[in-house]
Amino acid sequence: MKSIRKAGVSGIRASLEPASTSANVDPSIVRAGKDEEGENNVLPNLLLDVREGFLGAFRSVFREFGVTDQQYRVLSILFRMGDLETSKLARHARIAAPSMTGILDRMTEIGWVARKVPQGQRWGMVALTATGRRLIVKLLPKTTQRFASFEAALGQQKLEQLGELLLDARVALRELVASSPKTAPASGDRALRGRGVIKKRGKPSKRSGPKRKAGGPRS
């Protein structure tokens, strides 16, 4: 378990930075589950702030090289792991499959990646081109330096603690989702509609001609 946690902490080095909006939050308020204005559920806001803070800290580097944070994730994953199936690449990069298709289309057009279907395989593979490899080799020292600044500011001990807490939170959330009952109210409604208990909703009919006033004479 400790080795898994250690690997996860390394992964944190590609995913976190505190946002300036959260830097001055009173710890006692956070423990109470409220923000400065007394709003509940401050933790989700803090997590969003951390994510946006990290991306904001690295976007200046990405802009310098003309890449987006999604494109950087694709480049760095392919550099570390080699050729990957599109579905696996999307999963590792935390990018939805439909969005990944558009991202790869653009990166293929620029010349950073190439897509191919090896003989005898059903699924297409994505690989770095020589141009894409040269780009990520130039980018990595910059992003590594940027993260080192964050690590120095936060401190190694706090970073380790943060990694362990986030790993525990991820496991707990996955278990919660897995244990949640799967409901299908739509199928029940269809059964009731089949027996005529629930009528199908239709668009209201439009009446032609002027409305008759209540109590008025019939024409």
Q: How far apart are the first and last CA of the chain?
A: 85
Measuring CA to CA, which residue among 145, 125, 129 is closest to residue 75? 129
Q: Give a yes or no: residue 95 inside a domain.
A: no
What's the chain's length in residues? Answer: 219
Confidence band of 44 (pLDDT split at 50, 70, 90): confident
The DSSP bridge partners found for residue 115 are: 126
Q: Give a yes or no: residue 180 inside a domain.
A: no
Q: Give a yes or no: residue 177 inside a domain.
A: no
Q: Give a yes or no: residue 72 inside a domain.
A: no
Residue bearing the bigger pLDDT, 31 or 70: 70
Confidence band of 7 (pLDDT split at 50, 70, 90): very low
Number of structural domains, the chain?
1
Q: Give a yes or no: residue 42 inside a domain.
A: yes
One-letter amino acid for residue 197 of the chain? V
Model pLDDT for residues 144-175, shown as the tens digit of each residue: 999 899 889 989 999 899 889 989 988 998 89
Share of the chain above pLDDT 90, in %: 40
Residue bearing the bigger pLDDT, 152 or 121: 152
Q: Give a yes or no: residue 132 inside a domain.
A: no
- Domain limits for position 43: 16-64
Q: Give a yes or no: residue 41 inside a domain.
A: yes
What integer pLDDT is reported at residue 195 of this predicted model?
A: 47
Q: Give a yes or no: residue 211 inside a domain.
A: no
